[in-house]
Amino acid sequence: MFVIITYDVGEKRVNKVRKKLKQYLMWTQNSVFEGEISEGKLQKCLFEVSKIIKKEEDSIYVYRINFPAQVKKDIMGIVKSYEDIFI
């Protein structure tokens, strides 16, 4: 399964959310992670994220696409190396 996760999280919690998502997926843009993952691992990931966020303030969007081959990804402009700038 291919997953795209986007987040809009308060500043105080954003690093924790990123660290957690980074354990499961690839950081591709400022507030976007993506990757292939099993439903079980995704559930674990989302459960852990749910313990970090404030549900009345933050939002996490999860797009599941069953067949990764169905997803075509294009990039316009630069590809930022978030893995590098992330401490």
3-state DSSP assignment of residue 38: coil
Nearer to a copy of itself, 4 or 87 (CB): 4
Q: Per the annotation, where are the binding residues?
A: 8
**Residues at the site binding a copy of itself, with contacts judged by CB under 8 A:** 4, 6-8, 28-32, 46, 49-50, 53-67, 70-80
Q: Per the annotation, where are the binding residues for Mg(2+)?
A: 8
Nearer to a copy of itself, 69 or 87 (CB): 69
Nearer to a copy of itself, 74 or 87 (CB): 74
- Residue 50 C-beta: closest distance to a copy of itself, Å: 6
- Residue 35 near residue 29, CB atoms below 8 Å: no
Chain centre distance of CA 21: 5
- Residue 27 near residue 18, CB atoms below 8 Å: yes
Task: Name residue, tokens 């969007």.
Answer: 61
Handedness of CA 37, 86, 28, 13 (dihedral sign): positive
